[in-house]
Structure 1
């Protein structure tokens, strides 16, 4: 249990430089949790949506991290210009627990008929706690650890951008912008800046409804993370979506894990997703993998306007004309 206590202190207090990388939790399926990684996502999907996700890391390893996040985001009048949201999270590692609450604001700019740019900010409040009364130490008279709880609070701010079109997205964010120094009972500790970037592209197969084939979307994507002084870490995911309802994908995380993700849409409102990854690092002999589950509910969607319908009709007419021209050229 003494090792458990030390592990907990490393994870949350950042006693060593190496441990600082673990101060912000991770999800293997970063696309299902994109709002957690970037505040500029808020309001970009054309829906009001509530999510809850849970990650149980390193099953079978005593004191392993677990992370639960609940969030909501949408846009003002579903117009896709002003986005807002709220996030609640709780992360536990051994005898330590981090809890936080965040507000979110994003503004989306139309750069052209194809591309948009979102800028977002996410201020929040974090509480860091070490529950020493849960520890069973070999030296019960240890004066250093005689207190029942070490507690500290900090203001946490993230900011990011989201450049996107119908099939492409590129986004980056900076976290821990104001929570560099936290005051514990007997000492101060510093938290490092976190940088994240995500890029992805969607390829549509069998998208012509006239061919009456199941539409398939292939989406390769990558997440890049950097926390000083560690080297850059990255995750790569290739996801396939079938009939706009069912999806599956493979995940690779550098120097750490491989995994898979599965999910489905239930009706027009619900989505459920599951992820599993297995660590191939030095911890592989002490744990049985990590599990993730996510539920989302779409509260409201953007109602198509007359302009939207006209755009769809014009697009269909143009596509038909282009096909006719190509057929005439072949003749």
Structure 2
């Protein structure tokens, strides 16, 4: 029996939304049985930092796009996490996208620096939508400095003895990103290898850790409320084996194609606000603020995230169908 390939590729957006929901539900049920912490950094402005976790996003802006982001979590809390990310990606030719990501993440007493390269190939689904398939490859340089921890009056804590080490952790992953003028859906596994984080046979603080494989699902839609106001709800689900699912729900409004204002809720974790301003076709600045909803809120001043985005887009004519993700 011959298969009508053209008909199969011409999926309606409603069908894709249903498929995305089903995939998320199935993976949520299969990957959340025991308890293990999330390891990859979280971002409040994830919808503008997609390349950090999905190589399929590379080149989809169709111009050279450079983004810098700095996130400082639980400000005022000694040794709190902080993350800095620099990404760059561009379309090369008609269907190819290339990307680069540099990430530094600190959560005392550990630090990791990641360098990754992305390659994506775009398939035209119909006149309004494309599917981009991407691969990511690179490494993390992982540093563990447990001996720097204060042990109070204990001069030599045996649990910390010999626990300092550095490790070079190569890895690779893949992702897909479907998008049109108004809708997008992405799924990715940025790190497939589960590299060991301990130092050989040494167990740090009684545990033997590894890089857990994370699964990311994201989706959003842009609604035109009137000529001056757009509404963009979006979600990001992060899953890893044997850990609770992390789910971000965002509601953002775009005013006169210049000012983004909105808020988000991270289930059973935090809530906050996002403000972004588009100065021109090239330059955008964003700020995000989080507050935790658990006991930690009594001991920190929230999380601050600053984003700078520059795109080499110098066309004078107004874009008929601008992308807002």
Q: 2:232 aligns with which of 211, 219, 230?
A: 219
Task: Give the distance between the partners of 1:240 and 1:18, measured in 2 at CA.
Answer: 36
SS of residue paired to 2:155: coil
Distance in structure 2 (CA, Å) of the matches to 1:30 and 1:240: 16
Q: Which residue of 1 aligns with 2:80?
A: 64
Aligned partners of 1:169 and 1:113: how far apart in 2? 15
Q: 1:51-130 residue pairs with structure 2 within 5 A?
A: 51-77=67-93, 79=94, 81-130=95-144
| Cα offset, 1:154, TM superposition | 1.2
Q: Contact between 2:258 and 2:278, CA under 8 Å: does it hold in 1?
A: yes
Deviations 1:164-198 (A, max 9, x none): 11100111111320234345254463222101100
- Provide the secondary structure at the position in 1 that maps to 2:47: coil
- 1:114·1:166 contact (CA, 8 Å) conserved in 2? yes
Conserved 8 A contact 2:282-2:314: no
Asked if the contact 1:157–1:179 (Cα under 8 Å) also holds between the matched residues in 2, the reply is: no
Deviations for 1:256-308, whole angstroms, at most 9, x for unmatched residues? Answer: 0110000101233211000001001121111111010000111246798xxxx
CA distance in 2, matches of 1:84, 1:300: 17
Question: Are the counterparts in 1 of residues 193 and 211 from structure 2 also a CA contact under 8 Å?
Answer: no
Which residue does 1:161 correspond to in 2? 176
The equivalent of 1:255 in structure 2 is 268
2:306 to 293, 298, 314: 293
Partner Cα separation in structure 2 for residue 182 and residue 96 of structure 1: 11
Cα deviation for residue 227 of structure 1 reads 1.2
Residue in structure 1 matched with residue 285 of structure 2 by the alignment: 272
- Structure that is richer in helix per residue: 1
When Rg is computed on C-alpha atoms for both structures, the one with the higher figure is 1
Q: Residue 190 of structure 1: SS of its match in structure 2?
A: coil
- Which runs of no fewer than 5 residues in structure 1 stay unpaired? 1-16, 208-214, 316-331
For the residue of structure 2 that corresponds to 1:27, the secondary structure is: coil
**Quick one: distance in 2 between partners of 1:49 and 1:180?**
31
Cα distance, 1:96 vs structure 2: 1.1
Cα distance, 1:147 vs structure 2: 3.9
Report the number of matched residues: 282
**Distance apart, 1:71 and its partner CA:** 0.9
Tell me if 1:20 matches 2:45: no
SS of residue in 2 equivalent to 1:284: helix
Alpha-carbon shift at residue 157 of structure 1 (Å): 1.6
RMSD between aligned residues: 2.3
**d(CA) in 1 for partners of 2:220 and 2:286?**
19
2:116–2:138 Cα contact (<8 Å) kept? yes
Aligned-partner Cα distance in 2 for 1:277–1:91: 18
Q: Are residue 204 (structure 1) and residue 224 (structure 2) matched?
A: yes
Partners of 1:169 and 1:149 lie apart in 2 by 43
How far, CA to CA, are the matches of 1:42 and 1:153 in structure 2? Answer: 25
The alignment's TM-score, normalised by the length of structure 1, stands at: 0.79
Change beyond 3 A, Cα 1:186–1:140: farther
Q: How far apart, CA to CA, are the structure 1 residues paired with 2:239 and 2:316? A: 39
Segments of structure 2 that go 5 or more residues without pairing to the other structure are 1-33, 203-207
* Matches of 2:160 and 2:200, distance apart in 1: 11
Contact persistence 2:36–2:243 (CA under 8 A): no
Q: Distance in 2 between matches of 1:82 and 1:198?
A: 22
Per the alignment, do residues 180 and 146 of structure 1 end up closer, same or farther by CA in structure 2, a change over 3 Å counting?
closer
Question: Alpha carbons of 1:292 and 1:283: their partners in 2 closer, same or farther (altered >3 Å)?
Answer: same
